[in-house]
Structure 1
Amino acid sequence: MHDHAPSGIRGASNRRLLAISLSITATVMVVQIVGAALTGSLALLADAAHMFTDAAALVIALIASLVAARPANDRNTFGYQRAEVFGALVNAIILIALSVWVALEGVRRLLEPEAVEVAGGLMLVVAIVGLAANAIAMWLLSSAQRRSINVRGAYLEVLGDLLGSVAVIVAAIVILTTGWMPADAIASLLIAAMIIPRAVSLLREVASVLSESTPQGMQVAEVRRHILSKEGVVDVHDVHVWQLTRGAPVFSAHVVVDDDAVRAGRSSEILASLQNCLAQHFDVEHSTFQLEPAGHVEHDTHA
């Protein structure tokens, strides 16, 4: 099942979407830094730091996207799509470092609640501006993030910013209505707590790609059943499935073909049928099959 292609600005290329999101993020980051300086809010400063990290991550994502678009050559026969994975890895590391800093500073503020007076009114206004900007950036990236692990990394960071803005808004309202200043530090700790699970999830996905594990959602047993259902196919072995990056699975297998089909010259027909099956049912654009006569079975030593 395929997603319908988005129209309008959301249908733009990944690079253009990342560039637009970067512009939005950088603008709001400056607003939040100024707001944090004027209000003394740690939550706003944490959100601004997250925005700064997002801006850096989006730059990394843009660079990775440009590198990934380079064509394959004799040294890099699959091209440079794996660059997106390394970009996502950098994003995940940045997220973890950010969450540690925010958590430490939040605890310090809780232990010294009288150290800082926070201006709740201006804090609320700046947080609302951040919420609106993050919502727009998420909307822009929502479709492309399903197809690219690199864009997904940027999308997750913008999602974290949006949730962070919500936490800042709640803290600002508490400060305005009750004057309870620790609400600001608590909001900062919530931002850190929201960052860590997303970072771990992204790291897990990166590890899956780099370790060449079977893509999530693809069942090798089901692929085998489809292959064996083709006329003229006797057996299939040495099946390997991995992915270069999110949405780019690669498949290879040895397929044993009936001797009668080989003598009848149907090998090309069977090969085309198998490749079409992988493309249509499993979205595998790059598949390699080694066709073997029934009397020849050479198993991969790593199988």
Structure 2
Amino acid sequence: MPGSVARLYGARMGAHGHGHGVGAGTDRRWLGAALGLIVTFMVGEFVVGLLAGSLALISDSAHMLTDAASLVLALVAIRLAARPARGGYTYGLLRAEILSAQANGITLLLLAVWFVYEGVERLLSPPEVAGLPVLVTALVGIVVNLAATWCISRADRSSLNVEGAFQHILNDLFAFVATAVAGLAVLLTGFDRADAIAALVVAALMVKAGWGLVRESGRIFLEAAPRGVDPDALGTRLAGLAGVAEVHDLHVWEITSGRPALSAHVLVRPEADCHEVQKAIEAVLRGEHGLEHTTLQVDHCEDGADGAARPADGADHCVDPHGPVHLPGPVEEQRAP
């Protein structure tokens, strides 16, 4: 084998494109059904909230608007992600869902700030609230959200966008329970502040869902390692395989949610077979970590004057290496590049 060989273990996506266990067409149908339920009820809830003077209903209708937006964006992202990679977009548009998830999360956080402000104001000076319309609307909302949650649960939830929409509607279900309790309290006791308290509960749920989406989408944009994968431990594991002299420039990231990728530069001992070492590394990456999309540069090496491994052709490892160098042996013996 030549001294410097780049092996591309390329994208085993299969016919389904995104690696989903559920087809994109099936996803679109279930998401479309959930969207129809959400939009229909959202309009009715907003009108009832205005007529009843209920901030809890108005705030939750705004929450449902973001749910509807996330479903629309998820549908658009599914269509964009299905486009083949071409031109300058070498991964296609797989990160469209991450953009929409982040936009949806930021919107949730901004809405939560506004509803906290309004809720506190109404706690200090509560307006009159019609308890019966609030209670009835909330009970209907529970039924609608149960149906929408079931629809989305039938789609592929490995997508960050789909999972985000699922979590939003599930949170809406909890919010409607809080709103129903508030409506019952107003109806039975006349305690108008219960409506503002329910609105603050809805705002808290917005913060939880919004922050989760921003955090997870941010990890993907910053190309952090997928959760559950420790790059240092992985590098040490690969360096310990038979025939491996050194592993460096190890990068693990997610192209989009549920699509991890890895690249690394591997130096192989002169007496070892590069092909067999590559097969062993690929087996570990695939079998132990589910990493199917990998790029490995494999070189034979020789010991340099400083005792460090060098490519057999005498070239430097990399022009600008990143991250630690992983060597066979205990972790404390690893060195920086």
TM exceeding 0.5: yes
Candidates 98, 110, 113, aligned match of 2:123? 110
Structure-2 residue corresponding to 1:294: 301
Structure-1 residue corresponding to 2:62: 49
- Find out whether 1:94 has 2:112 as its counterpart: no
Query: Given that residues 97 and 160 in structure 2 are in contact (C-alpha distance below 8 angstroms), is that contact kept between their aligned partners in structure 1?
Result: yes
Query: Given that residues 145 and 155 in structure 1 are in contact (C-alpha distance below 8 angstroms), is that contact kept between their aligned partners in structure 2?
Result: no
Q: CA deviation at 1:210?
A: 1.0
Candidates 231, 236, 248, aligned match of 2:247? 236
Larger Rg: 2
5 Å-filtered alignment, 1:22-171, equals 22-113=35-126, 115-116=127-128, 118-142=129-153, 146-171=157-182
Structure-2 residue corresponding to 1:274: 281
CA distance in 1, matches of 2:153, 2:235: 33
Q: CA deviation at 1:112?
A: 2.6
CA distance in 1, matches of 2:154, 2:243: 40
Which range moved further: 195-204 or 85-94?
A: 195-204
Which range moved further: 136-145 or 40-49?
A: 136-145
Q: CA deviation at 1:17?
A: 2.9
Instruction: Say which SS state the counterpart of residue 121 (structure 1) adopts.
Output: helix
Q: CA deviation at 1:162?
A: 1.3
Give the gaps of 5 or more residues in structure 1.
none
Query: Given that residues 6 and 143 in structure 1 are in contact (C-alpha distance below 8 angstroms), is that contact kept between their aligned partners in structure 2?
Result: no
* CA offsets 1:228-250 (integer angstroms, 9 cap, x no match): 35433232222111111211111
The TM-score with structure 2 as length reference comes to: 0.79
More helix by share: 1
Instruction: Say which SS state the counterpart of residue 31 (structure 1) adopts.
Output: helix
Q: Which amino acid aligns with 2:91?
A: F
Give the gaps of 5 or more residues in structure 2.
1-19, 303-309, 312-316, 324-337
Instruction: Say which SS state the counterpart of residue 271 (structure 2) adopts.
Output: helix
CA distance in 2, matches of 1:146, 1:221: 29
CA distance in 2, matches of 1:271, 1:140: 43
Cα root mean square deviation, aligned: 2.4
CA distance in 2, matches of 1:209, 1:294: 34
CA distance in 1, matches of 2:259, 2:271: 35
Q: Which amino acid aligns with 1:187?
A: A
Q: Which amino acid aligns with 2:197?
A: I
CA distance in 2, matches of 1:108, 1:192: 14
Q: Which amino acid aligns with 1:302?
A: H
Query: Given that residues 209 and 245 in structure 1 are in contact (C-alpha distance below 8 angstroms), is that contact kept between their aligned partners in structure 2?
Result: yes
Structure 1 residues 144 and 245, CA gap change in structure 2 (3 angstroms)? farther
Structure-1 residue corresponding to 2:267: 256
CA distance in 1, matches of 2:137, 2:89: 47
Structure 1 residues 61 and 194, CA gap change in structure 2 (3 angstroms)? same
Q: Which amino acid aligns with 2:277?
A: I
Q: Which amino acid aligns with 1:47?
A: D
Structure 1 residues 11 and 220, CA gap change in structure 2 (3 angstroms)? same
CA distance in 2, matches of 1:122, 1:103: 23
Query: Given that residues 261 and 291 in structure 2 are in contact (C-alpha distance below 8 angstroms), is that contact kept between their aligned partners in structure 1?
Result: yes
CA distance in 2, matches of 1:67, 1:195: 27
CA distance in 2, matches of 1:85, 1:243: 11
Instruction: Say which SS state the counterpart of residue 242 (structure 1) adopts.
Output: strand
Q: CA deviation at 1:187?
A: 0.8
Structure 1 residues 272 and 80, CA gap change in structure 2 (3 angstroms)? farther
Q: CA deviation at 1:125?
A: 1.7
Which range moved further: 62-71 or 103-112?
A: 103-112
Structure 1 residues 228 and 66, CA gap change in structure 2 (3 angstroms)? same
Structure 1 residues 109 and 145, CA gap change in structure 2 (3 angstroms)? farther
Q: CA deviation at 1:60?
A: 1.8
Larger RCO: Structure 1 or Structure 2 (Cα < 8 Å, ≥ 6 residues apart)?
A: 2
Q: How many residues align?
A: 291
CA distance in 2, matches of 1:184, 1:176: 11
Instruction: Say which SS state the counterpart of residue 243 (structure 1) adopts.
Output: strand
Q: Which amino acid aligns with 2:87?
A: D
The TM-score with structure 1 as length reference comes to: 0.87
Instruction: Say which SS state the counterpart of residue 132 (structure 2) adopts.
Output: helix
